[in-house]
Amino acid sequence: MNLLAVLREAARSLNANKMRTFLTMLGMVIGVAAVVLMLAVGTGAQNQVNRAVSSMGSNLLVILSGSTSAGTLRFGSGNAPTLTTGDAEAIASLPNVQAVAPTFPGGAQVAYGINNWGTQVLGVTPEYTSVRDWPVESGDAISETDIRSSTRVALLGATVVEKLFDTEDPVGKTIRIRGQPFQVLGVLRKKGQSLDGRDQDDSILVPITTAQNKLFGNRFPGTVRFVFVQAVSQEATAAAENDITLLLRQRHRIQPDAEDDFTVRNLTQVAEAASATARILSLMLGAIGSISLVVGGIGIMNIMLVSVTERTREIGIRMAIGARQRDVLMQFLLEALMICIVGGVIGIAFGVAGALAIGNAMKIEVAFSAWVMLVAFAVSAATGIFFGFWPARRAAGLRPVEALRHE
């Protein structure tokens, strides 16, 4: 009996036992699909967080106007900002501080030609791009001269470029922000999503003085909404946080028992917390996937063991009518292999399709790893082959009469 004939016999047997084949394959599919899906979602989330974290800039603190004890920052809240450009300059001279980037944000409608787009405009100083690790990709950066003269110049984020310009090079063009003409100085490198899921590229940078004096009115002269502070090192962030608090309380003449009128947030800690959360999420999803893999494996095992009696008799019959031991073993091995390969491929397909669907529906990133697929596949396949093949091995080692007697 040649290999082809055994292969046919195995296929015939799988076809003849559709329910058993289906259930075994189901175990395989469930296990593999769950692992692939869960890990794709988990790894995707982790990647997304990691990218957002690294897009933040390093060793960063952010100081917010007002005592936002827990809430997120809200633009245009109407409250008088408590931070000033002077505060920022004072912070810059602290020993643990490398650089500061005071920021004055606002929302604005921008236009170029017939294109219109509502976006966020950030009034910034030249330090902003280096502190946020957000370099100008083409064109020029905002200069000290621009700050001094409140010039109407702008750096565009990638999304804004996309919305306003079709194929044209934006550098040197004049766009309108809140109806005022601004010359496009340069285009910023693509930055991606922030930790809270905002599109950071949907923004425009302008000189902070221009934002304060010309764009968003002069209600609170010299104030800024927040200040990014870059500490000299990762270790220095805590000390810098302390120094800044002391300095600002002094500068704002806050009584010892009074609350701060500003909030210092250590973004390094936020980033670490976010990374840890993502890691835990990823681990949990991985654990769920692994449990499914085990459940699928138990399913495969059960089906295989339940059919041992019937299959032992079958082996007895086959041996009585002339099958050699190796014919029987090869047939059972091939049956197990075929189930595993088909089940594994279907499982991977379902896992990938499911992860893509979830990613699409929930607008989250998913990431696939060939390694994960391989391991999930190997574990399920090993279960299937072991429990498919091992009873057959036992039965084929019996004398035909013993296998036939099996009740």
Partner 1 sequence: MSGRFIEVEDLGKQYEAAAPGTPPALQSVSLAIEAGEFVAVMGPSGSGKSTFMNLVGLLDTPTGGTYRLNGQNVAGLTTDELAHVRNRVFGFVFQGFNLLKRITASENVALPMVYAGTPGAERRRRAGDLLAKVGLAPYADAMPNRLSGGQQQRVAIARSLANHPQLILADEPTGNLDTQTSAEIMALFTTLNRETGVTILLVTHEHDIAQYANRLIRFKDGLVVHDGAVVHEGAA
Q: Which parts of this chain interact with partner 1 (CB under 8 A)?
A: 1-2, 5, 9, 12-13, 16-17, 310, 313-314, 316-327, 399-402, 404
DSSP count for the chain of H helices, then E strands:
13, 12
CB of 24 to partner 1, least distance (A): 15
CB of 286 to partner 1, least distance (A): 39
What gap in Å lies between CA 65 and CA 224, rounded to an integer?
A: 8
CB of 340 to partner 1, least distance (A): 21
Nearer Cβ to partner 1 (9/241): 9
Nearer Cβ to partner 1 (18/253): 18
132 SS3 class: coil
Nearer Cβ to partner 1 (294/317): 317
CB of 301 to partner 1, least distance (A): 21
What gap in Å lies between CA 284 and CA 38, rounded to an integer?
A: 9
Nearer Cβ to partner 1 (18/363): 18
Half-sphere exposure of 208 (CA within 13 A, CB side): 23
Note whether 27 and 297 are within 8 A (CB). yes
Listed residue (195, 368, 364, 366) closest to 277, CA to CA: 195
CA-angle at 87, arms to 85 and 88, nearest 5°: 65
Nearer Cβ to partner 1 (70/321): 321
CA-angle at 347, arms to 342 and 349, nearest 5°: 95
CB of 345 to partner 1, least distance (A): 25
What gap in Å lies between CA 1 and CA 19, rounded to an integer?
A: 27
CB of 300 to partner 1, least distance (A): 20
CB of 404 to partner 1, least distance (A): 7
DSSP lists the bridge partners of residue 186 as 139, 155
Listed residue (125, 163, 166, 157) closest to 143, CA to CA: 125
Nearer Cβ to partner 1 (321/361): 321
Note whether 388 and 335 are within 8 A (CB). yes
Joined tokens for residue 115: 């294109």
CB of 1 to partner 1, least distance (A): 5
CB of 351 to partner 1, least distance (A): 31
Nearer Cβ to partner 1 (95/322): 322
Nearer Cβ to partner 1 (321/370): 321
| DSSP character at residue 294 | H
Kindly list the distances between the CA atom of residue 177 and the CA atoms of 102, 108, 115, 238, in Å, as whole numbers in the listed order.
21, 6, 12, 39
Listed residue (227, 224, 214, 206) closest to 146, CA to CA: 206
What gap in Å lies between CA 134 and CA 190, rounded to an integer?
A: 8
Nearer Cβ to partner 1 (90/398): 398
H or E element that contains 327: helix 325-362
- Phi, psi dihedral angles at 172 (to 5 degrees): 95, -15
CB of 394 to partner 1, least distance (A): 15
CA 376 distance to own-chain centroid: 22
Amino acid found at 303: I
Nearer Cβ to partner 1 (219/394): 394
